[in-house]
Chains A and B, each alone.
Chain A
Amino acid sequence: MDFAFMAEAFPQIVGAIPITLLMVFVSAAIGWVLGLLFALVRRADVQFFSQAVAVFISFMRSVPSVILLYISYYVMPAVIYFYGQNIGIEINVSGIPAVVYAIAALTLNQAAYASEVFRSAIAAVDEGQFEASYSIGMNKTQALQKVILPQAMATAMPNLGGLFIMLIKDTSLAYYVGVYEITATANLLSMPTLNFIEAYIMTTVIYEVLSFVFNQMFRAEENHLKRFRAVLAAQV
């Protein structure tokens, strides 16, 4: 073990945590909102949109994340460039940082998985809750907002927590398109002296700690959301 290398490299790898978390937070925030919208569109059975969403989800779930990332990174710039030309604007696509393409790919990936989580969580809410809402004169939006979604979120929370942890790990794929996040930084630092084992031990520890912290946060939120249920709390 090259402890001198570890002591020197560790702060730099830790320094890459913010870029990893940036990808995680932005992708989860946008992806989950999209996912919820997709779930509601499918539930409402809106003509054309429901089918389009179903196809999108099935496509997203069958393509490996890394391929999605490559498509985003190599195809999107060309699309954006030609679209810009079409409407008469010269867009400097090489000026867009790689992390944007990584976030785009991760966001769509999250949207697809989160929509399935939300769909099953909404379906798990008893139909009688809708009926009671309607019986006191609520419209559909009020029923969803006040009664159905608060209950569905409690059901969705464990799966969202799982998605979130997967997302943290998936950000390491951004390495392939040149984003200097945790894995990329560790790998590059280890190359000159071939200290790969040390580098991977350090990244493992960092991912473990991140997962642990966010896992605890999701458990706490889960317990808060399902306080109305007469069952035991999840172990924190």
Chain B
Amino acid sequence: MKNIDCKRIDVHYHILDRRTYGWENDWKQSVEDADKLEIDQLCISILPENKCANPSEFRQVNDDVLQAMKDYPGRYLGYAFVNPGYTRKAVEEVERCIRAGMIGVKLYSAYTIDDPVTEPVIEKCIDLGVPILMHAGYAHIDMGQPSISTALHFTNIAKKYPEAMFIEAHIGGGGDWEWSIKELKKCPTVFLDTGGSVIDDGMINMAVKELGVERLLFATDCSIYSGVGKILGARLTEQQRRKIFSENFKNILSKRKL
């Protein structure tokens, strides 16, 4: 991987797969939008339509991510999306994708992060020295995702695997962010991505205060104006902002063992 002196790395972004109409424009447009907002690198994954994807489906979307990385070298960094329910195939796919240059693993809500079924994937990520970005959220209404991971699930799994690099996705993803930050305080090895469309005043500052700036990673989850704006608008020092925008994630990337 090129060692670019990036000032802004978006650790949570998605692009369309190559079977969806308009994908070429989407790939190009995403990079152009990133340019506008001075985002140097977008860490991408593709979520298949079937979130409980079978091995052939997750391999297909990962091939698309590898292609996007080739088409836009240095701009797109890839996450391997897998369904941990297919244990052997999921672990093999993680290995294949990381060897091909991807930087981590993306999991969705087929299982919670502390479900024993995810453990082989977690152990593979520890072996490879790569992070796991996990879809997450907590709300007081039914969000229609019964197996969505909350900070409680992260607390459980982080106790079991303190050496793993877990990233709880999008604190601005629409749930009760105060609850998530307070709960996440109990598991100091878990990182938090700042993505999502929610731009509540005080959200980033509370996260910094409660968790420490080292645990926050800049992300947009495709809400790029909200994503950049909330970091620029938060009451932070320039050094804190640099850490969130890229330095913390560069530190994670440096742990790669392959």
Say whether A associates with B.
Answer: no
